[in-house]
């Protein structure tokens, strides 16, 4: 049922803040997930609309909390085999679900996803949250595969970098080892994934092909992580006080 990760994979993740894991989904799971994701994208749901921001649409066409719009997505959003990989990588006692999103890069006129960290966007006191990013198509530099800066998950307290602004994250780490020329590019086959820590600098190439780049991401966090009071789509409906554990009926402990 569960997949036992090698020590090499776990150590790589802890050392570098990201790791590639091949074939986390079978071919038939990929087909099933892709069908649900396509249905979600075609429906009107909890889509991230940035006020018609054309620049944002060039970077990502995304739908957040897909599991709330399509019951089939629950099978994957709450998939225990995937959550257990997050548990092994972090070494956390328990793993909670934070949110999911389908992440498409539409064909033609697509822009890269700029270098950024995720954690500054999330309402968490502690670090440790992480994403699984699953390729639903084969991805490479031509259609939007990801890149990561090894060990950058050690860098805290950088402001939230907008996905459409002019900010360059590397200006905040000038004079350190964390430069763009250390980027590791990770092409993936459909059904394979990367995990990245919420602090790891990451980027995705533009989609230069004529087909959408289809991927699906789930965000997990270690049980016990506390709410830091920031506004977020997943916690906006809850009366959580700053400093309280991030425990809501939408963020279940999975494992």
Ligand X SMILES: O=C(O)CCC(=O)C(=O)O
Considering beta carbons, is residue 36 or 122 the nearer one to ligand X? 122
- Cβ-contact 95, 195 below 8 angstroms: no
Question: CB of residue 243 vs ligand X: minimum separation in angstroms?
Answer: 26
Considering beta carbons, is residue 69 or 118 the nearer one to ligand X? 118
Interface residue with ligand X among 215, 225, 234, 251 (CB under 6 A) is: 215
* Interhelix angle 7-16/80-90, nearest 10 degrees: 70
By CB under 6 A, residue 118 contacts ligand X: yes
x/- track of binding to ligand X for residues 128-147 (CB under 6 A)? ---x-x----------x---
x/- track of binding to ligand X for residues 52-71 (CB under 6 A)? --------x-----------
Considering beta carbons, is residue 216 or 227 the nearer one to ligand X? 216
Query: For the chain, what's the residue count?
Result: 255
Considering beta carbons, is residue 55 or 93 the nearer one to ligand X? 55
Q: Which residues 184-203 are close enough to bind ligand X by CB under 6 A?
A: 202
E strands, the chain, are 18-21, 61-64, 95-105, 113-116, 130-135, 146-148, 184-186, 193-197, 202-204, 213-222
Interface residue with ligand X among 30, 89, 92, 103 (CB under 6 A) is: 103
Interface residue with ligand X among 41, 130, 199, 217 (CB under 6 A) is: 217
Question: CB of residue 111 vs ligand X: minimum separation in angstroms?
Answer: 10
67/229 Cα distance (integer angstroms): 24
Strands of the sheet with 61-64, listed across from one edge: 18-21, 193-197, 130-135, 213-222, 95-105, 61-64
Tokens of 159: 């402001």
- Cβ-contact 104, 68 below 8 angstroms: no
By CB under 6 A, residue 255 contacts ligand X: no
Question: CB of residue 103 vs ligand X: minimum separation in angstroms?
Answer: 4
12/32 Cα distance (integer angstroms): 30
Task: Give the residue at shortest CB distance from ligand X.
Answer: 204
144/40 Cα distance (integer angstroms): 21
Residues that bind ligand X (CB under 6 A): 60, 103, 105, 113, 118, 131, 133, 144, 202, 204, 215, 217
């Amino acid at each position: 049922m569960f997949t036992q990760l090698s020590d090499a994979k776990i150590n790589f993740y802890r050392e570098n803040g990201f790791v590639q894991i091949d074939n986390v989904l079978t071919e038939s799971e990929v087909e099933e997930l892709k069908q649900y994701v396509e249905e979600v994208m075609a429906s009107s749901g909890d889509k991230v609309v940035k006020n018609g921001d054309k620049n944002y649409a060039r970077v990502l066409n995304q739908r957040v909390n897909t599991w709330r719009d399509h019951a089939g997505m629950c099978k994957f959003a709450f998939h225990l085999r995937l959550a257990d990989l997050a548990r092994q990588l972090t070494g956390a006692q328990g793993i909670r679900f934070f949110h999911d999103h389908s992440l498409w890069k539409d064909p033609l006129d697509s822009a890269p996803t700029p270098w950024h960290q995720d954690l500054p966007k999330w309402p968490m006191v502690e670090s440790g949250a992480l994403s699984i990013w699953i390729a639903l198509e084969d991805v490479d530099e031509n259609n939007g595969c990801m890149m990561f800066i090894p060990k950058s998950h050690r860098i805290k307290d950088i402001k939230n970098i907008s996905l459409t602004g002019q900010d360059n994250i590397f200006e905040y780490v000038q004079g350190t080892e964390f430069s763009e020329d250390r980027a590791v590019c990770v092409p993936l086959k459909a059904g394979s994934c990367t995990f990245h820590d919420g602090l790891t600098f990451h980027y995705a190439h533009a989609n230069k092909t004529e087909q959408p780049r289809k991927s699906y991401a789930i965000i997990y966090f270690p049980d016990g992580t506390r709410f830091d009071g920031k506004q977020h789509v997943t916690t906006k409906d809850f009366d959580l006080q700053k400093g309280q554990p991030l425990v809501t009926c939408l963020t279940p402990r999975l494992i």
